[in-house]
Structure 1
Amino acid sequence: MRTHAVVDSPCGPLTLVAEGDALCGLYMVDQRHRPAQLTFGSPDPGADVFARAEAELKEYFAGHRREFEVPLVFAGTPFQQLVWAELRKIPYGTTISYGQLADRLGKPAASRAVGLANGKNPIGIIVPCHRVVGSNGSLTGYGGGLECKRYLLDFEQGVLF
């Protein structure tokens, strides 16, 4: 059974979605590939998983957290799940290219597929798909919008402190 809550962030309101005691979604208002609202389940802003996720997000945006510990659960293809697991290994404050991410997965010819899986990441920010950039360092897209991606990268690199 899914439930959801909305929390504030410097990137605007974030919709948190949970299945049981694990977070399965974090979506921005105008996010590309945002599921229909009716798939988020009923509102339950007092649920422990949302309190934990909100607290960790506040710590992150205050500059006091670099890794998230809230329990996560993913619904996606096996390849998407591999990509999303690898995204979680990208260190705070760094970026890699889609090609480098494909190399890390042992699939150097799959940078396009990696990009598609990256774009369908259901748990933005916590699963840091914003840390993946074009081969020339350009911001090539972000489900939450390029402004938010730029904000997150600048924030993590200390530009906003």
Structure 2
Amino acid sequence: MNHVHWWLFGLSFAMGFVLTFPLLVRPAQRRAPARTSAKQEPSTTKIPADPPTTKIAADPPTTKISVEPLTAKIPVAEEFPTTKIAVGQESATTRIPVSPLAPYGPGSANSGPDGSGPPGWPVKGRMDTKLYYTPDDPMYDATAAQVWFIDEVSAQRARFTAWRQRSKD
């Protein structure tokens, strides 16, 4: 500690204080002299009010234009369109109806408000886990379906995994 020059440190502190102090102290602001007479009121200037406005006439009434109702009818299909999908190794094909609310392509359908599915669609699917359950699975009855599949092939095509395969992992 012999190499520290304490006197130099003290001098730099004092110089900093001396140079900073005048910047911190502000000169007092001058005040206007107080009036000696309380009876004098400040002079006021009267501002003229806006001149009265004139009324503007409303727009004239408009005429109504008659519009003819559209009469073009859009044809509606009697049945849902179907897609042929090959079943197994056989050459026979099964017609699967394409549901307009098929969230995962042909062979899938949204579940109803109570979790029920279309009649004859036995495979239940859960969208959150991407697992599907068949009627032989022990968890089938306890599972609330979010999507239904017509068969396991449709579920696998939608990239769902069988519950049996997932439970073995």
TM normalised by structure 2 equals 0.21
**Which structure has the larger Rg over C-alpha atoms?**
2
Q: Higher relative contact order by CA 8 Å / sep ≥ 6: 1 or 2?
A: 1
Q: Which has the higher helix share?
A: 1
